[in-house]
């Protein structure tokens, strides 16, 4: 029965640590510059976008399709960086808890 209580206690602790990590990731950001630095996207660790900045030289109504693809590229790059940061923090949390490194988490 002692093992059962320890497992329950460990599960509660893991849940608290995961919530703490999620809150921390909401505050952390990564930046990705696309289009040779003309489109900058800042993403949060929870995979939300904090801001997008577009160099005025790209803003030309005749180039709307090009602007859209450059923004999409930069957003995807920023989200990829946010996922990498999140995965790194998750692996660290799992290691701190003595859990094995599971690829993909």
Residue ranges per structural domain of the chain: 25-96
Per-residue model confidence (pLDDT) at position 103: 60
Per-residue model confidence (pLDDT) at position 31: 92
Short-list 73, 27, 17, CA closest to 50 = 27
Mean pLDDT by 10 residues, the chain (105 residues): 77 83 86 90 88 88 84 89 85 75 58
> Please, are residues 43 and 79 in contact by the beta-carbon 8 Å criterion?
yes
Per-residue model confidence (pLDDT) at position 17: 83
Which of the four CATH numbers 3.30.1310.10, 3.40.50.12280, 3.30.70.260, 3.40.630.10 does domain 25-96 have?
3.30.1310.10
| Cα–Cα distance for residue pair 85/97, rounded to 1 Å | 19
SS3 annotation, the chain: CHHHHHHHHHHHHHHHHHHHHHHHHHHCEEEEEECCCCEEEEEECCCCEEEEEECHHHCCHHHHHHHHHHHHHHHHHHHHHHHHHHHHHHHHHHHHCCCCCCCCC
């Amino acid at each position: 029965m002692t093992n059962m209580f320890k497992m329950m206690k460990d599960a509660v602790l893991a849940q608290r640590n995961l919530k703490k990590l999620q809150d921390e990731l909401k505050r952390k950001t990564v930046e990705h510059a696309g289009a040779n630095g003309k489109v900058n996207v800042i993403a949060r660790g929870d995979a939300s976008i904090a801001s997008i900045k577009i160099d005025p030289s790209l803003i030309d109504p005749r180039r709307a399709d090009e602007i859209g693809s450059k923004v999409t590229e930069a957003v995807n790059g920023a989200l990829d960086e946010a996922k990498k940061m999140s995965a790194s923090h998750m692996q660290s949390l799992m290691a701190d808890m003595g859990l094995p490194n599971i690829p993909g988490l």
